[in-house]
Amino acid sequence: MRWIVVWFLLSVSLTVQAEEAWIDHKCYVTDAQGVEHVHFFQLQLSSKPEQMLALRGRGIRDRTGAVTARVDKISECVLSHQRFASAKAQALDELEPK
């Protein structure tokens, strides 16, 4: 019986940790000039909607790591291995180097 309780507590702890983990997402965003981007961010699943809103103003980096623009509008964020719902986002995602 004692091992069952220990196993249960451990599984609950791991579930909570998984929800709090920072996970790679790709987001379909627009900068202040109206240019659309697919950019990668790390978000927590437990507060994804709030964190998506907080992306506004964050830097969009080029391949060298330099900030070239700032996020103005967030249209959609999905896990990095998932497909976007938007056809425009899917097309732009296909152009991004993997």
45-58 mean pLDDT: 93
64-86 mean pLDDT: 96
Give the model's pLDDT for residue 20: 79
Q: Is the dihedral of CA 15, 21, 25, 31 positive or negative?
A: positive
pLDDT in tens, 61-72: 988 999 999 999
pLDDT in tens, 3-34: 444 444 444 444 444 557 999 999 999 999 99
Give the model's pLDDT for residue 2: 55
Average pLDDT of the chain, as a whole number = 85
Retrieve residue 37's tokens: 């981007």
In angstroms, the CA 76 to CA 93 distance is 12
